[in-house]
């Protein structure tokens, strides 16, 4: 843990007191998003202290020219960058003619930020003394509407303290923004029009190269002591920015409140030529509702989300705050409404990583969305990859593969690879397996097989072809081997026979073959279409089978465990507990070669395989592998602790499971990895959800039945969550004494509780212990 | 082979006919250097076609900020870049007021370039018709003086053809130059003064950051039909450039000749404030001698160099041309006069690679300089590394080593690492072994032990400490292993137990221990000083020994060969001969992961070890390893064919040895690797020398005696070379019938000929067969 300033609260994230050193950290933590846009918790008013400005629009990116020290054949020319978008939240404030800036104030008191997760609101309040000795009180409320997701709203209230004050407020929009991580100082945006009319303003700008057209807009209205006032602005219109300046003298104790609506209209959803018109219509819609009504709807929308997705924990406020923060951020990032979007690793909270889609989506996020939304959301995520199949085939061709073999990119915005480290881009090929696994996982959980004949089978064929070509026969071993890969544990590069990768490769082929047979039997038309399109032959499939059947897996007889890769036992096997804490995190302290030859594991690797395929192994095998690998795991990836938490719970090691749970759920709140300033770790937040539902709750699907083996950490008196299993909503409540299941809907459902069948009837809570 | 336009000639490199597509290639091949400065064969006059401009000053570099896609801890902040220096060769030509430019001429005929290697001259001549229909004949002679190595000289002669012509000549100097490979478009030079007086001009400029101060200078004089003429220049002086324009009307058939002296004075050799004064004095010295006398001395100096270093081949002009080109370029690059300098991989012929010092110096260049210069030159090269020992210790510390362990940089200018690919910079650690081997090799060949107690022992201790710390004990193997390295074969990265690296590590420790004992016995004062300085303990040394004694070496029982690294036999072992030629060179056709998992070897790796330690293995072992590895070797490094040539000769495979010889000796002339435009491969040229002297000549040092086992390729009728062995000059002449040895000096010398002793007496040729 690296920081400890967030106040424990079950429904809110709270910061008290103004600390300039924490501004960038809080800008990440208090971020807002509504699936369509989002922004860091930057101050609306001028701030000259250290800050990391960021507003983001879903699906709007820029292909920055790849920067690299030493070029390798096959690198993509471009790196799709999450773009800092025009700013619509800005509100310049002057008090008696002096710019108000928290960085220069003589005094700031009663400073408080609150991210009200229950209602989807971000509030900030404080008192400040300006250099000119003017005293003011400020209250700001901001939210991004879930109902009109192109609109955000700000209520910015200033109170004159101690004396009469002249307050000038300048709401503005600005397209003169930059990215912190630009490779070549390119200009990312071109602004084509800046308009101002009445109390509204509009800036049309498009991204360079990708030509995403956007209209950024705003509208302002004012209230003094709660009463509408009509103020006339003085307008400052530049080439990239437009601001409306309103002035009002407040008597001591009086307040002025600005209601600012703002946001973006993008040409993904509207014709590019109509963006200003659509922005005007959108502002009309918002105005008709009014600020208060929009706020009311916001609360209702979040109540609806929480109704299905909340996890309530009693007896442990920090654990409660952690899981709600995770669920809140996941819903802020992706709501599953648009199959062209995906779940970026930093959501709308930072620029780092670029691209929106990693294997995180399939390996960590899909279970959360499957269980807390309807199954269409998860299907959309699968469809996203189906839409990118052709590009995955092209990507494989660039790396020397042929005959429709598909390698999905490591990082992407539009299906094209946009990452450029050879040891990752070219070698971290296990991502292909996670994409196949998600197809299986979706079917296993939802029971919806239709995706496979319609789309998934083609994806599975491309992936099987890849693995078949990527393996080679080792005469020495008389087996097929997979050489030169990077597994999920990125602290090993270019290794041979990474167990996880080999296991997934074998499974992918077996699964593809099984689905081919099933589709051939039951979906003859689809089968004909797919075989025609992919030119698949029987001979080809039997070649695949040969590879899968004879796949090599490194194994240690002495330790009774599969080895992470060839040669793992040659390492100096000193456990993490023996590493001086001054050496950690090793990725900040050690050179790369030292990390590579060490036994330290960045994130679950063999154990990730045991997580995916738990039912292929006995509990004794899990225990052996857990005991072997956990002591070498440094969890320097956000994606690691959740898997270990689930497995520790499975092994009845509740204290350890709880520790991992805290680490995953409060990773960003407590800044374990010393990098929260750069943004939040969104995708791993879905892993936190898994660590409660699958870890403590023991939820699995066994033989087509939903199954639970609930446990509860010592520190908790109870917890409860809901899952949507095949359109049955089951609420699971766990106390120390036992569990209770409550079914919503019309039909009964038989579930497994500690492997015994229980019949649930709608509306009738069923106790089990 | 990629090009075939160089005319075969035993002493010259000749190009006939003007081909714009070959300009960049010829600019590399016809480069000039004199150890202190050098330049590509750029045209003196204006040329608007494709060209790669390059002038270089030894030891003048710039620390360019490192550019990298993904930063790794331990990367150096800066990359020491070979800097393009101010241009002193420029001569603008106008004919009847029109700029003369070979790119725009209506016709160019009789174009010829000649690099006269015997005399160290570069000549160019042609006839041209300008767009204004003026006909001229041009003859240019250029050389960089070996006698005053701060001076170069140009004779630029224009003849009026067909009609009277007004010729304007503008000799100039220019500091407004750039590097082709700048990372950040930084400005590398700052010009502080531009002076013009009489017929001389001076530009003072210093490099940014490193602040190397230089004065670039020139002086012009003119001759019409061989008679001195006094012309008055019009002067064009800018902020970065100064030119003196001289005009003369030539009658048809008349010639005007410009003699231009130019060059650089640098503050490595003179006080920075005196550079202009020193330049003036240098010009006086050159003027007093005069162009013709300087030229005469140039011829004499090169005759002296050739007297000792020439290799004469009869019956094979291309082979003859190849070896002389190699010897010529080596001498142009480094003459061993200054121990602060080293042998850059591209010499003065291009910018690529940066840095001046690689392991090439120790592994490939030292034998050439030892045998063809006096031993002080080789000692200077060793001393260069001794001077950098402290920085090598700092470098090791950055990578987590302690207690005086030294890791020499992969690439350096001043002892600091300046390379940044983790798989090379951090992992290609075998370079440390080559540096120790060179100490051994120097002693073995020269018999001069003094370097070891005086300096070498400290280097050996630092290196032994490194290997001791870098190895780790594998319980599994019950041996010490070295994990995560890149061997000489850079087509494998991050492998375990690279045989070459492990073998060198073991040898380094054994050699260090042996020298410690020897110095303790025979150089007690040095021993005390070194042990005091390094804080070496007996316990430490016995720890080293334990590691060396128990080093692991991957071995295949089935094949009877050491394996290049763990897991080599798991590869798909398809030989190079089965690779379609469209796939080669693989480094231009394949993505990096495909190269890495292939069996293909960029350059000798296990065989490099067999070359260094030939006497550790039987001929049968060499043959087995050669037969195993050669079929997988693609020789895409310039450093590869020479070693294979030597070993093929050793194995009596003369046809193969000859093929490798041609490849190494004509690598750049015939552009095997399709990159000669970027510059020449200087360091591998010393390998070419080895492939004749050690390969065909079979020269070795055996038990302190010089030994030969000469063989001769089918294609040659004879060859001869000289070596300086412990101040005895031995001329070796080999014909099909046998060899002849001729000794110069005063003492007799006993050598081995096919393992039998022969006594050589000075001046008495001794035949052997």
Instruction: Quickly state the pLDDT bin for A605 (edges 50, 70, 90).
Output: very high
Does B224 lie at the interface with A, CB-CB under 8 angstroms?
Answer: no
What residues 365-424 of chain B have any CB closer than 8 A to a CB of chain A?
Answer: 398-400, 420-422
Contacts of B68 in chain A (CB under 8 A): 67-69
Best of A425, A591, A678 to disrupt the B interface (most B CBs within 10 Å) is A591
Nearest to B596 among A484, A569, A590 (CB): A484
Contacts of B494 in chain A (CB under 8 A): 493-495, 593, 596
How far apart (Å, rounded) are the C-alpha atoms in residues A632 and A175? 48
The predicted pLDDT at position A181 comes to 64
Contacts of A590 in chain B (CB under 8 A): 73, 400
Give, to the nearest 10 degrees, the angle between helix A431-446 and helix A499-522: 50
In this structure, what token pair is assigned to residue A655? 């204290």
Instruction: Quickly state the pLDDT bin for A351 (edges 50, 70, 90).
Output: confident
Give the domain A12-63+77-308 fold.
Beta-galactosidase; Chain A, domain 5 (2.70.98)
What is the distance in angstroms between the Cα of A485 and the nearest Cα belonging to chain B?
Answer: 8
Stated pTM of the model: 0.93
Does B494 lie at the interface with A, CB-CB under 8 angstroms?
Answer: yes
Does A474 lie at the interface with B, CB-CB under 8 angstroms?
Answer: yes
Chain B residue with CA closest to A69: the answer is: B68
How far apart (Å, rounded) are the C-alpha atoms in residues A559 and A661? 28
CATH number of the domain at A316-370+639-769, please? 2.60.420.10
Read off the pLDDT of each residue in A265-281 and give the average, rounded to a whole number. 97
CB neighbours (10 Å) of residue A625? 22
Chain A residue with CA closest to B184: the answer is: A184
The predicted pLDDT at position B415 comes to 94
Q: pLDDT tens-digit profile of A69-88?
A: 778 888 888 888 888 999 99
Kindly report the average pLDDT of chain A as a whole number.
Answer: 95
CB B106 within 8 A of CB B113: no
Per-position DSSP letters for A30-72, written without gaps between them = T-EE-SSEEE----SS---SS----EEETT-EEEEEP--SS--
What residues 558-577 of chain A have any CB closer than 8 A to a CB of chain B?
Answer: 566-567, 569-573
Does B284 lie at the interface with A, CB-CB under 8 angstroms?
Answer: no
Q: pLDDT tens-digit profile of B503-534?
A: 999 999 999 999 999 999 999 999 999 999 99
The predicted pLDDT at position B1 comes to 61
Q: A708 in helix, strand or coil?
A: strand
Does A550 lie at the interface with B, CB-CB under 8 angstroms?
Answer: no
Does A510 lie at the interface with B, CB-CB under 8 angstroms?
Answer: no
Nearest to B593 among A427, A476, A597 (CB): A427
Q: Where are the domains of chain A?
A: 12-63+77-308, 316-370+639-769
* Confidence check: pLDDT of A334 > 70: yes
Does A476 lie at the interface with B, CB-CB under 8 angstroms?
Answer: yes
* Confidence check: pLDDT of B181 > 80: no
Read off the pLDDT of each residue in B576-602 and give the average, rounded to a whole number. 96
Read off the pLDDT of each residue in A24-44 and give the average, rounded to a whole number. 97
Contacts of B591 in chain A (CB under 8 A): 72-74, 398-400, 422, 426
Contacts of B585 in chain A (CB under 8 A): none
Instruction: Quickly state the pLDDT bin for A106 (edges 50, 70, 90).
Output: very high
The predicted pLDDT at position A184 comes to 60
**B359 annotated to a ligand binding site:** yes
> Is A493 close to B494, i.e. CB distance below 8 A?
yes
What is the distance in angstroms between the Cα of A599 and the nearest Cα belonging to chain B?
Answer: 11
The predicted pLDDT at position B183 comes to 62
Does A591 lie at the interface with B, CB-CB under 8 angstroms?
Answer: yes
> Is B593 close to A421, i.e. CB distance below 8 A?
no
* Confidence check: pLDDT of A247 > 80: yes
The predicted pLDDT at position B184 comes to 60
Nearest to B426 among A420, A573, A593 (CB): A593
Instruction: Quickly state the pLDDT bin for B185 (edges 50, 70, 90).
Output: low
Read off the pLDDT of each residue in B616-643 and give the average, rounded to a whole number. 96
The predicted pLDDT at position A674 comes to 85
Does A7 lie at the interface with B, CB-CB under 8 angstroms?
Answer: no
Q: pLDDT tens-digit profile of B439-467?
A: 999 999 999 999 999 999 999 999 999 99
Same fold across B15-307 and B327-696: no
Range with the lowest mean pLDDT among A51-65, A570-584, B720-734? A51-65
In this structure, what token pair is assigned to residue B466? 């490194």
The predicted pLDDT at position B160 comes to 98
> Is B591 close to A400, i.e. CB distance below 8 A?
yes
> Is B426 close to A591, i.e. CB distance below 8 A?
yes
**Taking phi first (over 0 means left), then psi (-120 to 50 degrees means alpha), and beta for anything else, what does residue B711 get?**
beta
The angle at the Cα of A73, spanning A68 to A76, to the nearest 5 degrees, equals 60
Contacts of A73 in chain B (CB under 8 A): 587-592
Closest CA to A598 of A622, A624, A634: A634
Which residues are within 8 A (CB) of B532 and not within 5 positions of it... i.e. 6 or more apart?
Answer: none
Would you say the C-alpha torsion B515, B520, B521, B523 has a positive or negative sign? positive
Peptide bond into A585 cis (omega under 30): yes
The predicted pLDDT at position B135 comes to 98
Please give the ipTM for the structure prediction.
Answer: 0.92
* Confidence check: pLDDT of A737 > 80: yes
> Is B74 close to A493, i.e. CB distance below 8 A?
no
> Is B597 close to A484, i.e. CB distance below 8 A?
yes
How far apart (Å, rounded) are the C-alpha atoms in residues A171 and A258? 9
**Pick the residue with more confidence: A456 or A81?**
A456
Q: pLDDT tens-digit profile of B365-422?
A: 999 999 999 899 999 999 999 999 999 999 999 999 999 999 999 999 999 998 889 9
Based on the number of CB atoms within 10 Å of its own CB, is A558 exposed (0-12), middle (13-18) or buried (19 or more)? exposed
The predicted pLDDT at position A71 comes to 83
> Is B69 close to A68, i.e. CB distance below 8 A?
yes
> Is A569 close to B597, i.e. CB distance below 8 A?
no
Q: pLDDT tens-digit profile of A475-520?
A: 999 999 999 999 999 999 999 999 999 999 999 999 999 999 999 9
How far apart (Å, rounded) are the C-alpha atoms in residues B363 and B611? 10
In this structure, what token pair is assigned to residue B619? 């001929």
Give the domain B327-696 fold.
Glycosyltransferase (1.50.10)
Does A475 lie at the interface with B, CB-CB under 8 angstroms?
Answer: yes
The percentage of chain A sitting over the pLDDT mark of 70, rounded to a whole number, equals 99
> Is A427 close to B572, i.e. CB distance below 8 A?
no
The predicted pLDDT at position A594 comes to 98
Counted across chains A and B, CB pairs separated by less than 8 A come out at 135
Instruction: Quickly state the pLDDT bin for B576 (edges 50, 70, 90).
Output: very high
Active site residues of A: 490
Q: How many helices (H) and strands (E) does chain B have?
A: 21, 33
The predicted pLDDT at position B67 comes to 77
Read off the pLDDT of each residue in A317-341 and give the average, rounded to a whole number. 94
Instruction: Quickly state the pLDDT bin for A746 (edges 50, 70, 90).
Output: confident
The percentage of chain B sitting over the pLDDT mark of 70, rounded to a whole number, equals 99
Give the domain B15-307 fold.
Beta-galactosidase; Chain A, domain 5 (2.70.98)
Q: pLDDT tens-digit profile of B35-77?
A: 999 999 999 999 999 999 999 999 998 888 877 777 888 888 8
Give Dmax (Cα) for chain A.
89
Contacts of A579 in chain B (CB under 8 A): none
> Is B596 close to A496, i.e. CB distance below 8 A?
no
Does B484 lie at the interface with A, CB-CB under 8 angstroms?
Answer: yes
* Confidence check: pLDDT of B681 > 90: yes
CB B163 within 8 A of CB B242: no
The predicted pLDDT at position B26 comes to 98
> Is A472 close to B571, i.e. CB distance below 8 A?
yes
Chain A residue with CA closest to B78: the answer is: A69
Cα separations in angstroms, B619 against A115, B384, B584, B627? 77, 35, 32, 12
**B602 annotated to a ligand binding site:** yes
Kindly report the average pLDDT of chain B as a whole number.
Answer: 95
Tally of CA atoms within 13 A in the half-sphere of B657 that contains its CB:
24
How far apart (Å, rounded) are the C-alpha atoms in residues A306 and A286? 24
* Confidence check: pLDDT of B475 > 90: yes
How far apart (Å, rounded) are the C-alpha atoms in residues B682 and B341? 15
């Amino acid at each position: 843990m690296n920081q400890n300033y967030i106040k424990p609260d079950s429904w809110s994230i709270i910061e008290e007191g103004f600390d300039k050193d924490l501004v960038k950290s809080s800008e990440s933590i208090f971020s807002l998003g509504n699936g369509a846009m989002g922004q860091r918790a930057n101050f609306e008013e001028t701030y000259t202290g250290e800050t990391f400005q960021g507003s983001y629009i879903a699906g709007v990116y820029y292909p920055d020219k790849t920067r690299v020290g030493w070029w390798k054949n096959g690198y993509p020319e471009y790196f799709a960058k999450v773009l800092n978008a025009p700013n619509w939240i800005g509100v310049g404030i002057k008090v008696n003619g002096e710019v108000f800036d928290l960085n220069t104030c003589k005094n700031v008191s009663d400073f408080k930020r609150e991210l009200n997760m229950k209602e989807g609101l971000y509030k900030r309040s404080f008192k400040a003394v300006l250099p000119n000795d003017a005293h003011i009180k400020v209250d700001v409320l901001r939210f991004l509407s879930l109902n009109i997701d192109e609109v955000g709203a700000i209520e910015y209230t200033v109170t004159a303290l101690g004396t009469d004050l002249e307050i000038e407020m300048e709401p503005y929009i600005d397209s003169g923004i930059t990215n912190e991580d630009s490779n070549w100082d390119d200009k990312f945006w071109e602004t084509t029009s800046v308009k101002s009319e009445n109390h509204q303003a509009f800036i049309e700008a498009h991204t360079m190269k990708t030509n995403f057209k956007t209209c950024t807009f705003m509208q302002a209205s004012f209230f003094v002591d709660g009463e509408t006032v009509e103020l006339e602005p003085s307008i400052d219109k530049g080439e990239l920015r437009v601001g409306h300046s309103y002035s009002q003298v407040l008597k001591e104790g009086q307040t002025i409140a600005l209601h600012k609506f703002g946001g973006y209209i993008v040409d993904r959803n509207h014709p590019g030529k109509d963006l200003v018109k659509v922005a005007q219509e959108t502002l009309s819609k918002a105005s008709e509702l009014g600020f208060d009504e929009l706020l009311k709807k916001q609360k209702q929308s979040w109540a609806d989300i929480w109704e299905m997705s909340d996890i309530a924990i009693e007896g442990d406020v920090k654990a409660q705050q952690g899981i709600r923060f995770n669920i809140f951020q996941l819903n802020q990032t992706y709501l599953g409404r648009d199959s062209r979007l995906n779940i970026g690793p930093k959501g709308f909270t930072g620029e780092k990583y670029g691209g929106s889609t990693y294997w995180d989506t399939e390996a960590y996020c899909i279970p959360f969305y499957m269980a807390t939304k309807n199954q269409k959301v998860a299907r959309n995520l699968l469809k996203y990859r189906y839409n990118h199949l052709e590009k995955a085939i092209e990507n494989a061709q660039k790396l020397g593969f042929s005959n429709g073999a598909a390698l999905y990119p490591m990082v992407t915005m539009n299906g094209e690879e946009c990452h450029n480290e050879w040891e990752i881009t070219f070698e971290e090929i296990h991502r292909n397996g996670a994409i196949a696994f998600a197809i299986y996982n979706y079917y296993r959980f939802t029971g919806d097989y239709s995706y496979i004949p319609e789309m998934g089978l083609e994806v599975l064929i491309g992936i099987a072809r890849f693995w078949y070509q990527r393996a080679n026969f080792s005469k020495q071993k008389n087996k097929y081997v997979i050489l030169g890969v990077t597994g999920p544990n990125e602290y090993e590069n270019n290794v041979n026979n990474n167990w996880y990768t080999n296991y997934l490769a074998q499974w992918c082929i077996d699964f593809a073959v099984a689905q081919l047979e099933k589709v051939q039997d039951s979906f003859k038309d689809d089968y004909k279409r797919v075989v025609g399109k992919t030119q698949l032959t029987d001979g080809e499939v039997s070649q695949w089978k040969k590879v899968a059947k004879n796949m090599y897996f490194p194994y240690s007889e002495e330790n009774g465990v599969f080895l992470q890769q060839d040669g793992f036992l040659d390492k100096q096997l000193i456990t993490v507990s023996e590493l001086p804490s001054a050496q950690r995190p090793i990725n900040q302290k050690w050179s790369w070669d030292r990390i590579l030859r060490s036994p330290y594991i960045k994130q679950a690797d063999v154990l990730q395989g045991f997580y995916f395929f738990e039912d292929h192994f006995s509990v004794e095998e899990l225990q052996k592998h857990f005991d072997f690998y956990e002591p070498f795991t440094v969890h320097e990836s956000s994606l690691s602790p959740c898997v270990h938490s689930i497995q520790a719970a499975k092994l009845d090691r509740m204290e350890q499971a709880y520790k991992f749970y805290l680490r995953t759920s409060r990773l960003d709140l407590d800044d374990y990895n010393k990098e929260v300033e750069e943004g939040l770790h969104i995708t791993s937040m879905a892993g936190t959800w898994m660590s409660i539902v699958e870890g403590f709750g023991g939820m699995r699907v066994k033989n087509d039945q939903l199954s639970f083996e609930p446990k509860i950490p010592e520190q908790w008196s109870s917890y409860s969550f809901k899952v949507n299993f095949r359109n049955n909503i089951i609420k699971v409540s766990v106390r120390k004494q036992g569990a209770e299941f409550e079914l919503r809907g019309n039909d009964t459902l038989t579930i497994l509780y500690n492997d015994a069948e229980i019949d649930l009837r709608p509306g009738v809570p069923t106790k089990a212990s």
